[in-house]
Structure 1
Amino acid sequence: MAVERSGAVHDWLAARAVPLGDEARLSAALAGAMTGVRVVGLGEATHGSREFFELKHRLLKILAGQGFTTLAMEASMSAAERVNDYVLHGKGDPLRAVAEMGFWTWRTAEVLAMVEWLREYNRDGPRMTFAGIDPQYPGDSLAALGEGVPEELRALGGFRLGDPPLPPAVAEAARRLAASDAQAAKGSAAAADPHASDTQAVGTPDVDRHVRAVLQNAELAVVPFHEVPALRDRFMADNVDRLLADPAARVAVWAHNGHVMKGNAKGGLVAAMGHHLAERHGPAYYALGLLFGQGEFLSRRRRFGKAVRTRQPVRNRVPFAATPTTVEAWLAAAHPGDHLIDLRGDGARPPEAEAWLGERRHLRSFGGVVGRFTYKTSFSSTVPGDDFDGLAYIERTTCSTVLPDPR
């Protein structure tokens, strides 16, 4: 049974739909939706779709013009500084900097084009910075801290999520490192100003970031794998909040729908990054999910139930799911073609729309790895009005363009 193109819910969604091809209306819609917003989560249903990356690039340009100051990406907090050096100062090779963030999903022509645009945007002076928020891949931080790193932490350089947990001594060493850095910061502040309080004493931003990356990665490395997703999302929320410490900062967060959503991911078991941000910032956090009707995307396939990092990503195809239990079917019926719908907005909602927003439904959701035989029938559950403040719908997607690794 397909969704009917009539009724109170259909009419409410259709009235709010803004065609993505209409730049002026899209910009105006975002300006209204972003009123009072300091951090916006830009989601994606897959990590391997060209159209999602290109849409987020377009949205970033609009947000930059509306006063957003930082792009924070689901990428290595430690290694992302290389990208920031390029977009602010033109230092280094942009493709190499993107590749060194640790994720094949970002080593694409579409992400590289976004990074090149950021460089042009900042050419006359810094206007938008770039940051990673993921504790994974702390190699740059281990190197930057040099001899101050306890020997136990060297194991983090080769650790990857999904590996067997490291000994608890690794996390204990990381906590000692963080404590010694905090103590050194207090000593430096006291030397500079004997009247400074402990709360005023902070380390230099670079040292603080590197220590934090190592500490967070160490905490992830020693817990059982089933505890990693919740801890990782909380750490990513914490890292976004560090960026928001500057009262003038407004942050756009580039991540998966499963991270930017305001509810619980992984079948309701994991409080998503967006859940923490919504709890901490209320309406100043806006979660925008990006969905698609059908098409192709890149991902790696599991082999014998496990992800194999050496395997190349492959093309995956999914058909349109017309059933009314899917959010995508309702969005497709509401408006022909690609569009964006602000679910917050002004004005009263009809009771039927209120009920629809509060009902549990399903949507497509794929990470960097999918099951070989099961992905076509794979859906995640959602309560649209609880999890998202807005939804963008792409009718058909194609694969992102992965670039050769320059390293």
Structure 2
Amino acid sequence: MVGGMTPSPQLHPVTDDPACYDDLLAQMAGARFVLIGEASHGTHEFYKERARLTQRLIEERGFEAVVAEADWPDAYRVNRFVRGQAPADTRAEAALGDFGRFPRWMWRNEPTRDFVTWLRAHNARRPQAQAGFYGMDLYSLHRSMDAVVAYLEGVDPAAAQRARQRYSCFEPYGTDPQSYGLATGYGVAEPCEDAAVAQLVELQARTLRRAGEDILAEDERFYAEQNARLALNAERYYRELFRGRQDTWNLRDTHMADTVDALAGHLEAQGQAGKLVVWAHNSHVGDARATEVGWRQDQENLGQYLRQRHPGQTFVLGQTTFQGHVTAADDWGQPARHQAVRPAISGSVEAALHALRPSHYWLSLRGEVPPALQGERLQRFIGVLYRPATERQSHYLHTRLAEQYDAVLHLDRTGALVPLDSPGELPEQAEAGEQPATFPSGE
């Protein structure tokens, strides 16, 4: 238990007054990893409140980075922007420009733009205590390989040529990871795993800290190494898609946890504390051991891994809603639209939280928990897809809330996330092979 506190089951109303989170921040004292979830990828209030809390963690508690459920190279463009290292990007909208594939609204939206704008200004005010913005997902197979080659072109052209040669193993499959996964997963073609491993090993040999090298150069080497690690894990992920979705879920969340640990270690090597705020869906941050997919399907997740690796240093906050509206697609690769979210079904976690009142509040799940929230209940998970016609089957799982999170932020009626782009402005570049293993639908 972080901070050694045993708080009462008092409901803490969430208001515009920053002091409404004072006690919650006190409970996070001692944590190096604060995981803030969301019950959907398209709810405005989840993004807004998560940003409010993160700002205070950065300003008041010395947290040094946000790690989002986003691809590493896309998010690193944002990282360069907030640190003043991307002169071509003068506004947050531009810095978020690499989030162009489905579901682009997940990060190209108003609350993320506002947070990124704030973070850049914060870093400008405090150049000696800057905070970064990173991704931890593994869908960017080809972009990560390209980034490795581009980095090496600038520092060692011969090494870049070796990387290009190794990654040419993927060329027969074009830019569609599904084609690669299909051919190698079923044994039709030899996998490119050895080539990806060799490239990572070579880059790791380069990343030993060099005397006199500045932090920016260290960061760029770390960025390239992480891209090489991502390419390796993405190769395994797409190959496993055709062997069983269970393996891909665990592989993906293991990659997320390893990325968080690698980033914390990188910051510590630079003399920092390695304190990170993690933004991801409830299905990733809420301990899978307290869900039916953990009990019955042996699924594990990011929150579970970080709790196991860093006991007493990990705080998990889930976010829930009872009803409202959401930005979501009907199917993978389809345009997002605002949809009405049905009231939560009877007997669910959300229905119990709705009955407690007030409408917006946070509640500690340590120590005594209200009887209505004890034991096993259904909990709703909406990802980038929302399918109200099959609501129970598509979006609910049995969970034990008090084991899943350390606290829950309940926002009873919520609104849809506002994307920066209208549906027709940018093409939804959805490659069939990049569909995730969902938990349970579209996370």
TM-score normalised per structure 2: 0.76
What does residue range 45-60 of structure 1 map to in structure 2 within 5 Å? Answer: 45-60=39-54
Q: How big is each residue's C-alpha offset from its partner over 1:110-147, in whole Å with a ceiling of 9 and x where there is no partner?
A: 21111111111111215211111111124443223223
More strand by share: 1
Task: Tell me what 1:272 maps to.
Answer: 301
Task: Tell me what 1:375 maps to.
Answer: 391
Task: Tell me what 2:436 maps to.
Answer: none
Task: Tell me what 1:178 maps to.
Answer: 200
Q: Please say which of residues 35-44 and 17-26 is displaced more in the overlay.
A: 17-26
8 Å Cα contact 1:326/1:362 also seen in 2: yes
One of 257, 267, 286 as aligned partner of 1:261: 286
1:291 aligns to 2:320 (yes or no): yes
1:240 aligns to 2:266 (yes or no): no
Task: Tell me what 2:229 maps to.
Answer: 212
1:250 aligns to 2:275 (yes or no): yes
Q: How big is each residue's C-alpha offset from its partner over 1:27-80, in whole Å with a ceiling of 9 and x where there is no partner?
A: 311221111100011100000111111111111112112221110000011221
1:143 aligns to 2:146 (yes or no): yes
One of 62, 71, 94 as aligned partner of 1:67: 62
Q: Distance in 1 between matches of 2:392 and 2:325?
A: 11
1:37 aligns to 2:62 (yes or no): no
Q: Distance in 2 between matches of 1:97 and 1:203?
A: 17
Q: Distance in 2 between matches of 1:129 and 1:174?
A: 27
Partner of 1:249, secondary structure, is coil
Q: Distance in 1 between matches of 2:61 and 2:18?
A: 13
Task: Tell me what 1:340 maps to.
Answer: 362
Once the two structures are TM-superposed, the CA of residue 376 in structure 1 deviates from its matched residue by 6.6
Paired residue type of 1:312? P
Partner of 1:267, secondary structure, is helix
Q: Please say which of residues 160-169 and 76-85 is displaced more in the overlay.
A: 160-169
1:399 aligns to 2:420 (yes or no): no
Task: Tell me what 2:74 maps to.
Answer: 79
8 Å Cα contact 1:292/1:394 also seen in 2: yes
Once the two structures are TM-superposed, the CA of residue 233 in structure 1 deviates from its matched residue by 0.7
Partner of 1:400, secondary structure, is coil
Q: Distance in 2 between matches of 1:23 and 1:318?
A: 28
Partner of 1:35, secondary structure, is coil
Provide closer, same or farther for how the CA distance between residues 69 and 166 of structure 1 changes in structure 2, counting only shifts above 3 A: farther
Partner of 1:127, secondary structure, is coil
8 Å Cα contact 2:69/2:280 also seen in 1: yes
Paired residue type of 1:286? F
Once the two structures are TM-superposed, the CA of residue 359 in structure 1 deviates from its matched residue by 1.2
Task: Tell me what 2:14 maps to.
Answer: 20
Partner of 2:359, secondary structure, is coil
Q: Which ranges in structure 1 are unaligned for 5 or more consecutive residues?
A: 1-11, 193-201
TM-score normalised per structure 1: 0.82
Task: Tell me what 2:119 maps to.
Answer: 118
Paired residue type of 2:418? T
Identity of aligned residues (%): 25
Aligned positions, number: 372
Provide closer, same or farther for how the CA distance between residues 94 and 165 of structure 1 changes in structure 2, counting only shifts above 3 A: farther
CA RMSD of aligned residues (A): 3.0
